[in-house]
Amino acid sequence: MGGRGVAEVKETCSLPMLSVDMENKKNGSVGVKNSLENGRPPDPADWAVMDVVNYFRTAGFEEQANAFQEQEIDGKSLLLMTRNDVLTGLQLKLGPALKIYEYHVKPLQSKHLKNNSS
């Protein structure tokens, strides 16, 4: 470009870009729908260990979330967990372990299976 224009920038940015969808709400306002849910990828299979930990912290299992970090449970591992893994492998108290499995691990597994079946 010549003259008094804006300088052309040829640097490339190595930061990942988030895809953002705009959706019109009924009241006329525009909401932003992010491809990340609470900072986590939407598919649990793509979660890192800290995504799993933060998921359970957000769900109200602050103390128990640390067990997932100690055992290095990422999203793929979480989706492979059995009831026995949660109840005994994480060394959690029985009450919270049952809730974690029934209300979180099983539904995440079902949702993942449903979304990835042909």
Whether the pTM exceeds 0.85: the reply is no
Mean pLDDT, residues 48-72 taken together: 98
Res 39: pLDDT: 87
Res 1: pLDDT: 52
- pLDDT tens by residue, 2-43: 555 555 544 444 434 433 343 444 444 343 344 577 789 999
- pLDDT tens by residue, 69-118: 999 999 999 999 999 999 999 999 999 999 999 999 999 999 999 999 85
Domains in the chain, CATH or no CATH each: 44-115 (1.10.150.50)
Greater pLDDT, 16 or 54: 54
Yes or no: say if 89 and 77 are a contact pair by the CB < 8 Å rule. Answer: no
Question: 3-state SS string over the chain?
Answer: CCCCCCCCCCCCCCCCCCCEEEEECCCCCEEEEECCECCECCCHHHCCHHHHHHHHHHCCCHHHHHHHHHCCCCHHHHHHCCHHHHHHHCCCCHHHHHHHHHHHHHHHHHHHHHHCCC
Yes or no: say if 105 and 78 are a contact pair by the CB < 8 Å rule. Answer: yes
